Structure 1
């Protein structure tokens, strides 16, 4: 049994040719004859020779690895995004190094540091719900590791990102409910530090004003996205002095908690109180209670576009000036289930 991995030097010695000739033959260089190429490749196969990837990476100054950090892979939204990411990286012969922050800022920081140490070429990140400072991302910039954010975007300037237009999606959701005759519509929003939550509220306010309905700040309640926080926020909206007849909810997962609580209070779902959500996750169609409609955010496409953007940044020549920032904003679309 061989104790060591065969090397180019061993192949060269056995065939009595130079190391450079072996290297060129293995890479089908035009300067090497067919006979020599065949001999080299045949012996390499017999010896189970495998290229030294570390040496190749060092020579090319690339590891062909992309780091991905997201909150929860268990969520259908991020699973779909990963599918988009992997489809693009596979075609371009890159490997994905995946990490989950589980919405823990300290873990997010640790993942950034570990991926930096592993010398990833670039990173795709969807920030945790609690991320409020961004020094760990600045560290990547200083290390010349390009980053593209997707879905959950930090509130900073000069970043590359792919996101969905939550303002237009929310306006569609509110308009849908207004057309159903609802006039007291609550907004069960997520953490205030998330940029997408700000957009949701902006779309909510714009839709009300556009339809000559006064904005009532007390009808906007935030949740930390935990089951307990979701129920607490739902309880607050349902106990509002003005009788809420419809609620626009942060996403389908939060909507499930909200509808479950409402059902426990003997409230008829989508009759006494109507629910509209975000994400349009496939499993909602199989639930006993589901929102009347949900805003499609195209997670697969977000992952796909973010990866393409990152690869484009990586492919730029060193002397070629990169733009201040790349950004892609996808149009969201309200999908009506029953209405």
Structure 2
């Protein structure tokens, strides 16, 4: 095993002090240009890499941001991760990923581990099962930097980054109404999710403005499993006055619901039409995708969440107001041809 090259070894070979080597590697102007060049040249020749452990001990930081999210396999969350990594890596931070799999107890365990094993900050999107959030408040009370994103629990004062879901649902429902659809169903998510309530409010607001009936029979909540989506979509199709359009919680819900419609012999976007959230790339490969999708800008959400954490942990970009930041991105209704 090759010997690890240290600053002391570089200093010994160049017959200068270790502190001079350290400053030269940081391009400190107090060190002469020839010395800086000599240090960098020898460091490259010896394949020297700075010790992040030593650097972190000096700074009191770990150089690690943690992300806790429901499912990395979901395209939305993988795009959020891409946004976080883009900014975090450029500032020499490592991103550690944890999945709650939408389980409350697992989320609590992960956050407890992160609280005891120091990280410089935590980005959290709460699990579907989570209805109590004292475990999140405890982190904030301990002074651990936390940024809540996308699924943001209510009544918690913390840094937040998301998309205006209520407006997205409102815009999507208005668009359907303006295209002549009169019986617009809502295939919504489960009760605990704040995002479900945001969709509901936007949907209702648009129906009222368009003077369309608000019918409980047209509003179904699903637990986001294929089995439950199948059951609830079948109920909608078997109702006395079948809907002519459906606003779905996201593209995954829409795709499962559309499959049920096909099995019933219905033509998608002719006999019944769909609008959804997420704007998944796979929609471009479908012969009959949803007529439109609400783009929630997950990459930008991740980028902004990382930016906020950096502003808290990096004194160079410290927020002078020292208050909680709340960022809500504008949704965009992506309309497809057809």
Flag whether TM exceeds 0.5 (same fold): yes
Tell me how far 1:236 sits from its aligned partner. 1.9
TM-score between the two structures when normalised by the length of structure 2:
0.90
- Matched residue of 2:235: which SS? helix
| In 1: Cα distance, 2:110 partner to 2:55 partner | 25
**In terms of mean alpha carbon deviation, does 327-336 or 26-35 score higher?**
26-35
Residue 329 of structure 2 corresponds to which residue in structure 1?
330
Gap change, CA 1:206 and 1:34, over 3 Å in 2 = closer
Q: Structure 2: which 5+ residue stretches go unaligned? A: none
1:9–1:19 CA contact under 8 A, matched in 2 = yes
Residue 233 of structure 1 corresponds to which residue in structure 2?
232
Gap change, CA 1:159 and 1:240, over 3 Å in 2 = farther
1:123–1:146 CA contact under 8 A, matched in 2 = yes
1:152 equivalent in alignment to 2:151: yes
Provide, for residues 94-130 of structure 1, a one-character-per-residue CA deviation record: whole Å limited to 9, x for no partner. Answer: 2211122222223322332333344221122222211
Gap change, CA 1:9 and 1:258, over 3 Å in 2 = same
1:259–1:289 CA contact under 8 A, matched in 2 = no
Provide, for residues 142-200 of structure 1, a one-character-per-residue CA deviation record: whole Å limited to 9, x for no partner. Answer: 33221112211112231211111122211221122222322221100001111111010
**In terms of mean alpha carbon deviation, does 85-94 or 21-30 score higher?**
21-30
Residue 257 of structure 1 corresponds to which residue in structure 2?
256
Residue 269 of structure 1 corresponds to which residue in structure 2?
268
Residue 180 of structure 1 corresponds to which residue in structure 2?
179
Gap change, CA 1:50 and 1:228, over 3 Å in 2 = same
| In 1: Cα distance, 2:24 partner to 2:204 partner | 66
| In 1: Cα distance, 2:42 partner to 2:329 partner | 52
- Matched residue of 1:283: which SS? helix
Gap change, CA 1:41 and 1:286, over 3 Å in 2 = closer
Tell me how far 1:50 sits from its aligned partner. 3.3
- Matched residue of 2:182: which SS? coil
| In 1: Cα distance, 2:254 partner to 2:232 partner | 11
Gap change, CA 1:321 and 1:173, over 3 Å in 2 = closer
2:312–2:319 CA contact under 8 A, matched in 1 = no
| In 2: Cα distance, 1:237 partner to 1:247 partner | 10
- Matched residue of 1:181: which SS? coil
User: Within 5 A, what are the aligned runs for 1:1-339?
Assistant: 2=2, 5-12=4-11, 17-34=16-33, 36-37=35-36, 40-41=39-40, 44-45=43-44, 48-315=47-314, 322-323=322-323, 325-339=324-338
TM-score between the two structures when normalised by the length of structure 1:
0.89
- Matched residue of 1:277: which SS? strand
| In 2: Cα distance, 1:37 partner to 1:62 partner | 27
Tell me how far 1:12 sits from its aligned partner. 4.6
| In 1: Cα distance, 2:28 partner to 2:315 partner | 25
- Matched residue of 2:202: which SS? helix
Tell me how far 1:280 sits from its aligned partner. 1.2
Aligned residues: CA RMSD: 2.5
Gap change, CA 1:217 and 1:50, over 3 Å in 2 = same
